[in-house]
Structure 1
């Protein structure tokens, strides 16, 4: 089903939207996402905090 939808222009290849997500995240000024790879478990975790970079700098200065 996925292949059929992709062939008629209603889907993308797997992973092709990741750079777009990162661009939007950066344009919003949110903290850079953290990508954690665990080769033992064959697992990748993406941590995306909806905090402004300026918020993180503020908390680092006050502690």
Structure 2
């Protein structure tokens, strides 16, 4: 996979073998006194279905 930084919080990954595109957007990061909170929006051209942000998008948190 080819990895390209779009900005300080967005990243583009391209798989040249199958043409898949993945975009990761670090939407929110909160530093905690214990564990940090992170919310990401991820677009994956190969996933099916529709998430909260539309087709191929998913939200993940940690």
Q: Normalization by structure 2: what TM-score?
A: 0.32
Choose between structure 1 and 2: higher strand proportion: 2
Choose between structure 1 and 2: higher helix proportion: 1
Q: Normalization by structure 1: what TM-score?
A: 0.31
